[in-house]
Structure formats: C-alpha cells, structure tokens
Copies of this chain bind each other. A is one copy, B any other.
Amino acid sequence: MSTGVRRRMGVEERRQQLIKVALDLFSRRSPDEVSIDEIASAAGISRPLVYHYFPGKLSLYEAALKRASEDLAGRFVEPLEGPLGLRLLRVMRRFFDFVDEHGPGFSALMRGGPAVGSSATNALIDSVRQAAYEQILTHLGIEDVAAAPPRLELVVRSWISLAESTALIWLDGRRVPRAELEVQLVDDFGALAAVSAARDAEMAALVRSLVKDEPADGPFAELAGRLIALAS
C-alpha cells in the first residue's frame, strides 16, 4: 500500500519491495487479473518505474514465484528426530499454511496460469518437487538420493503429486477441513508405501524397518487400528 511518504530506496531494496508487493497480490487473486498498474500503485511508485526494475509482468511474476518456491522448500525442512509419521504431519501443516496463504496464485500456477509453459516457471516447480523428494528420502534414511530403489522413487514422487492435487481440490471450495487432509496425506503416504511393499521384497524390508520405530500412539499405528476396525 502507498504510504504517501516517499523516500529513496536502493535498487536491490526496491526490487525486493516490488517482489513482496507482487507476491502478495498474486497470492490473493489469480495473477492473470493483477495489472502492472495495480502493482505500481500498491508499491507507491509509477508504472514506468516498475518497468525500470522489471522488464515486464512475466519477469516480476517469475521473481515472485522464485521467492515463493524458496519459502515453500524451506517449510519442508524438518529435524531428523522423532517418529516419521509426526515429522510428516508437521510438514503437511506447514504445506497447507503455504497453500492457504497463496491460494489463488497456487491454483492458477498449478492449473496452468499465465507463465506456465515458460521454462523458468516449470524449472522452479520442478525444483520444489525435487526438494520435497530429497527431504523425504533423507528422512527415510536413504543417503544416496540418486541411487534410491525405483519403486521407492515411484511411491515418493507420485505421493508428492497426490499432495499437490489434494491441496488444489481443497482450495476449490474448501469442503473438507484442512486439518483432516493433513492427517489424510500422512496416512496416504503410509498406505501407498504399504501397497508397494505388499508386492516387492525390497520395499517390504524398508517399510518394516521404518515401522518398527513408530510409536503405538503415532499416526501410522492409529491408521492401522482404524483399518482393522473398518475391515471387521
């Protein structure tokens, strides 16, 4: 918002301010609907001055997306201690915080927004997915990420896409409480890993070694209890 008070900013400071203002606007409405005039007005500067710092809306959008990507990747970082199910649940809470804060911009981006198809945008989305993938493998005790077993890679990467689509469907009407979906995604991870382990010895050994450290009152044990109740 314009304060009415103008002071001189350095180039980098002004760029950072514009990124912050743009990200805020792109988070509250679809980026398609946000004009450079509006960004200039919210930053309290003229439209030509915006173009002095960013050659066009796409470059400002990419800069804002880069900041959002770094923010999101930072939220995946979780200490390597305590039960796995609870670690993942804390990450899911922070993921939904992010999705909640950036709802319209997140939807527009993931559903094919203005800059989709731009290779810079696709590379940023992929870098966040890769950060999520590497974090999860680290928590599963896989030291050499590039040498992960192919079935584990499939479970982890396809679950990441499940988490993205669950968040997108949630944003479209918010008809299920987000806290329920945070737990559900933790459960889904366990279920997809168990399905893979049910038909593959290598995955079975990995799942058994991970589950033995899970507490009896953690999310995975609770899920197992509920599934047994459902089946009976």
Contact = CB atoms under 8 A, between A and B. Distances in A.
Nearest to A198: B226
A162 B158 contact: yes
Interface residues of A, number: 52
Contacts of A191: 188, 191-192, 194-195
A134 to B, nearest CB: 16
Instruction: Give the copy number.
Output: 2
Given A112-B117, A116-B112, A169-B153, A231 B223 contact: no
Interface string A30-74: 000000000000000000000000000000000000000000000
A207 B226 CA distance: 14
Contacts of A116: 112, 116-117
Interface of A: 111-119, 122, 150-151, 153-154, 157-162, 164-166, 169-170, 173, 175-176, 180-181, 183-184, 187-188, 191-192, 194-199, 204, 207-208, 223-224, 226-227, 229-231
